[in-house]
Amino acid sequence: MNRPTLPVLMAGLVLLAAACSGGTEIDAKKAELKEKKKELQDLRAQISELEKEIAEADPAFGQEVREAQLVTVLPVKQETFEHFVEVSGDVRSDKNVTISAEAMGVVERVLVTEGQQVRRGQSLMSINADVLRNNISELKSQLELATAVYERQKNLWDQKIGTEVQFLQTKANKEALENRLSMLLSQLAQANVTAPFAGTIEEVLIRAGEAASPGMPMLRLVSLQDMSIRADVSERFVGSFKQGDAVEVYFPSLDKTITSTIKAVGQVINPNNRTFTLEARLPNDSELLRPNLLAVLRVKDFEQEGALVVPTHLIQRDRKGDFVYVVEDRDNAKQVTKKHIETGLSYQNETMIKSGLQPSDVLVNEGFRQVSEGVNVKVATETVATAN
């Protein structure tokens, strides 16, 4: 066996050392970056404080600062805030069934093909029932005889001739044959497979000549009527929806959106995924909808009128919590003020503000990351739209 030479071993050790050194160097750079960012944040705060102190002592310096800081502003909006939940579901049909055999025998004829439209009650398939028909024919002959005997025995009993036992025996024999004949006729009807509702033959699962037995799948029948969408919703939204609520349904494959209503809200939590079901109605006139088609439901779970709303990206965070910068008029100048806020729900890049702002407040928009508390600014556009 050849042993590694000294140069090969040295080369391997060099590569290993380089790999370890590379990992250590990256970690060091990450730590240094984190430290620099912290220093930058502290430096900005110190600069802001120094500018404020110097501006108070030297008005000319304050004028220079005002001219240097150029920002745009945005009013706080007061409007109806709505929050929606988006969940994925699929199209379901209450009339998407597999028709199974009810009688035992060999399939005699298949009367439909896949894709064929059928009406309710139409014959789809027949199973050979010759033995059953022979039994019925024989039973009818026995019933005719039993009926004749019963009628004669009844006439005799009406005339007080014979015994009651003889009369009751002939009556019981006749009724037993009638019940048996009725049962055989029902079994004969099961040999003729019919459509339980109008729809389309989706799949034929058995062919003529094959043996069928009770419970064996034979055909799949689908109707595009009475369709709905079913989705699983997280249990944290329990109580947020009710039957009749509006729902927007989007079909990604079709790039189509329809408006519907909630048909049913599940009352049981699935212990496996901690969800409950939500079912929405679908129109019966859409030719493109198909069972198992993917759909996205957009349902409103929160609404508040007169809410204060700000763009989500303007919200920053420090040790005290969330805050935004607003512009206020002070000493004939526009100055930045930091206002800490309590945020609510966010939706489509907008956040509802629970407290900390007033409808008259004006936010620093462009340039909000370059300003700090107490900085004097110049607004690029003085005309500010009035809040809703």
CATH code for the domain of 272: 2.40.30.170
| Region of residue 356 (phi > 0: left; psi between -120 and 50: alpha; otherwise: beta) | left
Contact by Cβ (8 Å): 380, 367? no
Bridge pairing between strands 350-355 and 342-347 = antiparallel
Return left, alpha or beta for 240; rule: phi > 0 is left, psi -120 to 50 is alpha, else beta: alpha
Q: CB of 282 within 8 A of CB of 260?
A: yes
Statement to judge: residues 266 and 249 lie in one domain: yes
Whether 270 shows a pLDDT value over 70: the answer reads yes
pLDDT > 90: percent of the chain:
20
> Minimum mean pLDDT among 54-58, 95-99, 173-177, 340-344: which range?
54-58
What pLDDT score was predicted for residue 126? 87
pLDDT of residue 286: 66
Domain boundary among 203, 222, 241: 222
Per-residue pLDDT band at 143 (split at 50, 70, 90):
confident
**Is residue 10 domain-resident?**
no
The mean of the pLDDT values for the chain is 82
Structural domain count, the chain: 3
pLDDT at 342 (0 to 100): 93
- 328 occurs within a structural domain: yes
* pLDDT above 70 for 7: no
Q: Look at residue 15 and tell me whether its pLDDT is greater than 60.
A: no
- Domain residue limits at 246: 85-95+224-303
Specify the pLDDT at position 383: 41
Whether residue 386 lies inside any domain: the answer is: no
3 lies in a domain?
no
Check residue 386 and give its pLDDT: 40
Whether the per-residue pLDDT at 131 is higher than 90: the answer is no
- The span from the CA of 339 to the CA of 317, in Å, is 11
Query: Domain for residue 164, yes or no?
Result: yes
Closest CA to 172 of 152, 136, 147: 147
For residue 245, count CB atoms less than 10 angstroms from its CB and return exposed for 0-12, middle for 13-18, buried for 19 or more: middle
Cα–Cα distance for residue pair 88/237, rounded to 1 Å: 15
> Does an H or E element contain 279, and which?
strand 275-281
Cβ atoms of 280 and 85 within 8 Å: the answer is: no
Region of 348 please: left (phi>0), alpha (psi -120 to 50) or beta.
left
Report, as an integer, the average pLDDT of 310-316: 93
pTM of the model: 0.55
H-helix or E-strand containing 296?
strand 294-311
Q: Which residues on adjacent β-strands are paired with residue 303?
A: 82
Residue 36 lies in a domain: no
Q: Alpha-carbon distance 211 to 217, whole Å? A: 12
Last residue of a domain, one of 202, 222, 242: 222
Give bridge partners of residue 328 from the DSSP assignment. Answer: 335
The model's confidence at residue 324, banded by pLDDT at 50, 70 and 90, is very high
- 3-state DSSP call for residue 292? coil
Residue 5 pLDDT: 53
User: Do 352 and 210 share a domain, yes or no?
Assistant: no
Is residue 316 very low, low, confident or very high in pLDDT (cuts 50, 70, 90)? very high
Same domain, 136 and 215: yes
Cα of 98 vs its chain's centroid, Å: 26
Q: How confident is the model at residue 326 (pLDDT cuts 50, 70, 90)?
A: very high
pLDDT of residue 384: 42
Choose one of 281, 303, 325: the last residue of a domain.
Answer: 303
In a domain? residue 15: no
> Sorting pLDDT into bands at 50, 70 and 90, what band is 11?
low
Once rounded to an integer, what is the mean pLDDT over residues 221-243?
A: 88
Q: Do 126 and 238 fall into the same domain?
A: no
The confidence band for 59, taking pLDDT boundaries of 50, 70 and 90, is low
Q: How confident is the model at residue 387 (pLDDT cuts 50, 70, 90)?
A: very low
**29, part of any domain:** no
Question: What mean pLDDT do residues 317-323 have?
Answer: 91
Of residues 24 and 125, the one with the higher pLDDT is 125
Residues 6+ apart with CB under 8 A from 149: 170, 173, 174
Going by C-alpha positions, the residue among 276, 274, 280 that lies closest to residue 262 is 280
CB-based contacts of 298: which residues, under 8 Å, 6+ apart? 84, 85, 86, 247, 248, 249, 250
Q: Which of 45-59, 122-136, 348-362 has the lowest mean pLDDT?
A: 45-59
Find the DSSP H helices in the chain.
6-57, 59-68, 130-158, 164-190
Nearest to 126 by CA among 206, 183, 185: 206
Looking at the structure, tell me whether residues 147 and 205 fall in a common domain: yes
Q: For residue 125, report the phi and psi dihedrals to the nearest 5 degrees.
A: -160, 150
Please give the pLDDT value at position 378: 83
